[in-house]
Structure 1
């Protein structure tokens, strides 16, 4: 988690709105939708 301190990537309101729209319209059964570059990076680190 130390890699995430002082980061220059962060989630904008528009990232969340777009991700919510994609999640609502998703038909694949996917459960996780990271919103924004910081959340995508964190999701990929797991």
Structure 2
């Protein structure tokens, strides 16, 4: 039972850090172009030369 004193705040802290990281990545535009990488792999390399 005494381990819950440490584990519950640790779980809340890690959950808060994960939520903060998700919101930061969302606000910085990481999820705006999800199809771009999928389309880029289909392009010919000759166009880049």
Tell me which of the two structures has the higher relative contact order, counting C-alpha pairs closer than 8 angstroms and 6 or more residues apart.
1
Please state which band the TM-score falls in when normalised by the shorter chain: 0.3 to 0.5
Larger radius of gyration: 2
More helix by share: 2
Q: Give the alignment's TM-score, normalised by structure 1.
A: 0.32
